Structure 1
Amino acid sequence: MGNVLPIPGPEWCDDGGAGAISDAGGLHLHQLRLHAEYGGVVRFQLPGAGVAVSVSDPLVLEQTARIDERPASLFAFLEPLCEAGNLQVIGAEEHGPWRRVLLEVFAGRPSHERHFGEFVSLVEEVAERWGGAGGDAVPLQKDLTALSLRMICAYALGGVGVGVGVGVGSEVVRAEDVVDAFEVVLSGDDGTEQQTSLDYLRSTVDRVIAAREESDRGADRSDLIGALLAAGTTPARIRDTVMVTMLAAHHTTGVAVSWTLHLLGRHPEVAERVAAELDRVLGERSAPDYGDLRELTYLEMVLKESMRLYPPGPYGAREATEDMVLDGADGTYEIPAGTTVFYPFWAVHMNPDHWPEPAKFVPERFTPEAVAQRSRFAYVPFGLGPRSCEGAGLAMVEAQLTLAVLLKRFRFRPVAGHEVTPVERFVLWAADDIPMVVTPRAVGD
């Protein structure tokens, strides 16, 4: 351990840091600038949290990875979805057992295989619609976000995602109604419409849970609701879990896939290599089986490099539960208990000490040999430690499947003159979507 240094950072402003973020063009760009100027550990003003310490140094990330608390104020926006306690900030003692149940189902092959056929059908519906676009550009993020919602509805609600009101009597619950309700709830507006949408979401999930309790499938542990029922979870906690899961998943996979297609459209040589791999593994088949995914190694590398350049969830945060002394590449620092530790995933992924020429799209960064030479905390698209994303495995299956089906059928070409600009939302979105022109391809083309 070296001498303890003061954590560097910009001068304090009376506006709590909002002006600096606005001047930079958003929090992502602000973080990139801070770390470029001050190094891997930076003290800064974060609106809603006061003083925060931002970390882009993987060595320091590793030392904070065991923290199992989040700053409640930064996740208060999720409270409308959580009547049984905000699942994103519940204490470590309660969070641990709940997380283990989720990992049982989200990370398990039986769960993935069981829903794989449903996922294939949903992706093929999008492919059929795009195939009839007649040369017009398709809006990637709009369509793929809707696809992601249908997938997670099918996964969490037992078939709702494919337009079948399984477990809800004769009523058909449309995915479009669910996404519309989510958008209203998260709009930040307090009013009748927001409450009506929230009531609709809760009542829909409650009806599915009640029906599952009465059915033979109530204890199916390869299913989200079934696993939570089998674990003795209360209906209120199950409902909250389903709603937060749908919120987290209905954007993330679609955003990751759309950024990947955007990059492939600008790197046709990489797209051709992906197409060749798909033709070799799938032959004349239009979609993979679950077991085929492990053979699509280059496709996985492309997806991971895309999520490095455009991490769908661009940052995370923890709250230090004790005084900490952290050794980083730039020095040794003290962080007092109660400090908000901010994780700017985009800045971590653009750290030139771990990613040479970080702005370049190079899928070969994710060969087994290259991965073995890097800190595992240099790449954190799903977060880190005990608060990392429980659905990471499922999200990768969904994304790889979606890319495999779409790239087996189509080539993707950027729309001339359209500038794709990342913007900050709940996920890393694109201003004015990512429109692309799709053209059919055949095996060997």
Structure 2
Amino acid sequence: MRIPGPEPRADGGVGAVAAAGGLHIYQLRLHAEYGPVVRFQLPGAETAVSVADPVLLEATAHIDKRPERLFEFLAPLCEAGNLQVLPADEHTPWRRLLLSVLAGRPSHERHFARFTTLTTEVADRWAERAGRGPVEPQKDLTALSLRMICAYALGGDVEDPDRIVTAFEEVLTEYLGRLYRAPGAERGDNTEGAEEALAHLRAVVDRVVAARRAGRRVDRSDLVGALVDAGERPARIRDTVMMTMLAAHHTTGVAVSWTLHLLGRHPEVAERVAEELDRVLGDLAAPGYADLRRLTYLEMVLKEAMRLYPPGPYGARETTEALVLGEYEIPAGATVFYPFWAVHMNADYWPEPEKFVPERFTPEEVAKRPRLAYVPFGLGPRGCEGAGLAMVEAELVLAVLLKRFRFRPVPGHEVTPIERFVLWAADDIRMFVSPRVSG
């Protein structure tokens, strides 16, 4: 049976995506009109199919190939081959190594105190801002997220971490700008600056690698230490650090920002979170690592926020053989899109999906849904290696901020989700903060 979808357009689908406001919204509209499996046009993907049903997604979960053309914009950031599209035989051991560091509880615990200090510094700045105007959570929390992943990847002994953050932001602005720049638009004038910033970042990694190899520090709880210990070559280490920072630095910041946005509009939920924090933490201003597992309602709130605003709104794989999805056959070489936002808004599995209902994530409710009904970090062998770390960071940041402040949206400020590698708020999420008295 022919897969349903819009008629082909002379522009290859560019106009339809642009008119919708981005691929993330276009996918929502496609699935609303054509159903759970949709064929559509996209430059760089001769046959593009989007799948928004979690049961049908199971048939694609084994695919371990990404479409190279969709990720070629990242190639200039890599010296030893684009890590986003490594062939499976190279990707599997690399992923296993990353998981040993990013998903390991010992390394989470080791870095937790540093993460708490960084978060408290942001909270202190916001306390000074209270009563003098709104804060911009997205801006401040993505910077915090970058500082966290920098400490995690490079260890805590790098010189001038602020310069590292600035350099990475220069690189990110330039290279992601190329991806989202309109066709035919002129290039920005910061290419030289971005290349200098990239060279600086690589030099920092080289110094950390040299220190590890000289035996001045042996520690597998940071990423570089683990890569050195595994015998990875310098170029691959530099590439891995860059890709890890790229993938991780926005995730926690935007997830927490969207959560605060929702809590500002649902004060009754925010109050219940505050009550849990007071009960679990008492007079403590921040949780310990072991406290996180006791903050069950906070975790439910975060998960529901990531359902409504998944940090990455979609993913993509390339079929290596023909694939059957229900009544449809997908040919080999097709690009299969995982429209995470559309999956999370599928009313068959999420009644009244547009509503903010943290209770969807009680154990009883979770058990009623298919495994892939909730995929904020992707799925299969190319799913996010840092999912566990991102949850630890986000829960810590939320706990510190919500223990200390109440959040109120700025009246009249429009919050519009756009796709900029992650699901981003076009003009930040401006909020007023005020101190709360616990107990």
- Please say if 1:250 is aligned against 2:224: no
Question: Which AA in structure 1 matches 2:76?
Answer: P
What is the alpha-carbon distance in structure 2 between the residues aligned to residue 243 and residue 147 of structure 1?
17
1:138 offset after TM fit, Å?
0.2
1:46 offset after TM fit, Å?
1.4
Partner of 2:101: 105
**Distance change in 2, residues 1:171/1:183 (3 Å):** closer
Q: Is the contact made by 2:46 and 2:334 (CA closer than 8 Å) also made in structure 1?
A: no
Q: Is the contact made by 2:167 and 2:197 (CA closer than 8 Å) also made in structure 1?
A: no
Partner of 2:365: 370
Where do 1:110-149 residues align within 5 Å?
Answer: 110-135=106-131, 136-149=133-146
Partner of 1:237: 236
| 3-state secondary structure, aligned to 1:44 | strand
Question: Moved runs in structure 1, 4+ residues, more than 3 A?
Answer: 170-174
Q: Is the contact made by 1:52 and 1:341 (CA closer than 8 Å) also made in structure 2?
A: yes
Where do 1:42-121 residues align within 5 Å?
Answer: 42-121=38-117
Partner of 2:173: 183
Q: Is the contact made by 1:146 and 1:176 (CA closer than 8 Å) also made in structure 2?
A: no
What is the alpha-carbon distance in structure 2 between the residues aligned to residue 197 and residue 110 of structure 1?
32
- Please say if 1:209 is aligned against 2:191: no
Unmatched runs of 5 consecutive residues or more in structure 2: 179-186
Match of 1:392 among 384, 387, 394: 387
Question: Which AA in structure 1 matches 2:412?
Answer: G
What is the alpha-carbon distance in structure 2 between the residues aligned to residue 361 and residue 383 of structure 1?
21
How big is each residue's C-alpha offset from its partner over 1:9-30, in whole Å with a ceiling of 9 and x where there is no partner? 1100010001111222221111
- Please say if 1:338 is aligned against 2:333: yes
Greater mean deviation of Cα atoms: 307-316 or 192-201: 192-201
Question: Which AA in structure 2 matches 1:236?
Answer: A
Greater mean deviation of Cα atoms: 170-179 or 253-262: 170-179
What is the alpha-carbon distance in structure 2 between the residues aligned to residue 138 and residue 401 of structure 1?
19
What is the alpha-carbon distance in structure 1 between the residues aligned to residue 26 and residue 73 of structure 2?
22
What is the alpha-carbon distance in structure 2 between the residues aligned to residue 233 and residue 264 of structure 1?
44
1:45 offset after TM fit, Å?
0.3
What is the alpha-carbon distance in structure 2 between the residues aligned to residue 384 and residue 56 of structure 1?
13
| 3-state secondary structure, aligned to 1:317 | strand
TM-score by length of 2: 0.95
**Distance change in 2, residues 1:120/1:407 (3 Å):** same
Q: Is the contact made by 1:8 and 1:38 (CA closer than 8 Å) also made in structure 2?
A: yes
Greater mean deviation of Cα atoms: 250-259 or 176-185: 176-185
What is the alpha-carbon distance in structure 1 between the residues aligned to residue 298 and residue 134 of structure 2?
24
Greater mean deviation of Cα atoms: 300-309 or 423-432: 423-432
- Please say if 1:322 is aligned against 2:318: no
Q: Is the contact made by 1:181 and 1:201 (CA closer than 8 Å) also made in structure 2?
A: no
- Please say if 1:409 is aligned against 2:409: no
TM-score by length of 1: 0.94
What is the alpha-carbon distance in structure 2 between the residues aligned to residue 134 and residue 111 of structure 1?
34
What is the alpha-carbon distance in structure 2 between the residues aligned to residue 150 and residue 171 of structure 1?
7
Q: Is the contact made by 1:253 and 1:399 (CA closer than 8 Å) also made in structure 2?
A: yes
1:401 offset after TM fit, Å?
0.2
**Distance change in 2, residues 1:132/1:30 (3 Å):** same
What is the alpha-carbon distance in structure 2 between the residues aligned to residue 271 and residue 107 of structure 1?
29
1:180 offset after TM fit, Å?
2.8
Q: Between the two proteins, what is the percent identity of the paired residues?
A: 71
What is the alpha-carbon distance in structure 1 between the residues aligned to residue 54 and residue 161 of structure 2?
50
Unmatched runs of 5 consecutive residues or more in structure 1: 160-165
Partner of 1:157: 154
Where do 1:169-318 residues align within 5 Å?
Answer: 173-188=163-178, 189=187, 191-218=191-218, 220-318=219-317
What is the alpha-carbon distance in structure 1 between the residues aligned to residue 434 and residue 393 of structure 2?
23
1:172 offset after TM fit, Å?
7.4
Q: Is the contact made by 2:316 and 2:338 (CA closer than 8 Å) also made in structure 1?
A: yes
Question: Which AA in structure 2 matches 1:31?
Answer: Q
- Please say if 1:9 is aligned against 2:8: no
What is the alpha-carbon distance in structure 1 between the residues aligned to residue 340 and residue 158 of structure 2?
39
What is the alpha-carbon distance in structure 1 between the residues aligned to residue 158 and residue 7 of structure 2?
57
Count of equivalent residues: 428
1:167 offset after TM fit, Å?
4.8
1:174 offset after TM fit, Å?
4.5
What is the alpha-carbon distance in structure 1 between the residues aligned to residue 146 and residue 372 of structure 2?
29
Question: Which AA in structure 1 matches 2:149?
Answer: I
What is the alpha-carbon distance in structure 1 between the residues aligned to residue 229 and residue 287 of structure 2?
32
1:178 offset after TM fit, Å?
3.0
1:200 offset after TM fit, Å?
1.8
| 3-state secondary structure, aligned to 1:321 | coil
Considering only aligned residues, what root-mean-square deviation do their CA atoms show, in Å?
1.4
Q: Is the contact made by 1:182 and 1:197 (CA closer than 8 Å) also made in structure 2?
A: no
| 3-state secondary structure, aligned to 1:138 | coil
